[in-house]
Amino acid sequence: GKSMRRTSSVRFSESANRHRLHQNYRKFERSVTTVLATVPTNDELQELVKTLRDEARKLPESVAEGDEDEEEEEEEEKKEQAVDGEKSSSGADKLGVVNVKRLKEILDEMNLKETSETLSKVPNSSEYDTFAYDVDALEDFAKRRAASAEYAAKQNGGGATAAPVAATNGADARRPSAPNARGMP
């Protein structure tokens, strides 16, 4: 009777808290992806994604150490992914995750100071150190950014990099006869 109602009420409350934590982390993860996809240069971004991929391959399946509650949440998400027909998330290699603390260490190791500082300003950044960051979302941004850089380079007659574009004021890149463009190698 009465104790049963109380138990399910407590369970619902715990479930609501887990859901709120999960939702807040998803917002944080989107912020992290935005910072990582926009602050570093394209070359730095490509190198970062490669480094994070390599790191994800090294880690055991239990990469997200977070709360035990989070594991239940992840199990629910795996079921949802299976229902949605998304890729299986069995194992870090397939899942492509690195914990947030390790991500921050990698930024420091790669000397990406501005990116690291910007990331530390994201609200509640330190609260999510034990959570798993999904590299896949960042990889999608990196592929699009690499394609954009390649396209820009081709439009400006350059090779595979967009570096010559940065060295000019834009108008000169389209008019080789402009005085400023002659001095370029």
- Residue 18: exposed, middle, or buried by beta-carbon count in 10 A (0-12, 13-18, 19+)? middle
pLDDT value at residue 158: 54
Supply the DSSP string of 7-37, one letter for each residue: HHHHHHHHHHHHHHHHHHHHHHHHHHHHHHH
Chain centroid to CA 113? 17
Quote the domain boundaries for residue 44.
Answer: 2-135
Domain assignment of residue 167, yes or no: no
Domain assignment of residue 176, yes or no: no
Domain assignment of residue 156, yes or no: no
The domain tally of the chain equals 1
Domain assignment of residue 178, yes or no: no
- Total-model pTM: 0.60
Domain assignment of residue 166, yes or no: no
How many CB atoms are closer than 10 A to CB 63? 22
Domain assignment of residue 130, yes or no: yes
pLDDT, mean of each 10-residue run, the chain (185 residues): 64 85 92 95 95 86 46 45 39 71 96 95 92 92 89 73 42 42 46
Domain assignment of residue 161, yes or no: no
Domain assignment of residue 57, yes or no: yes
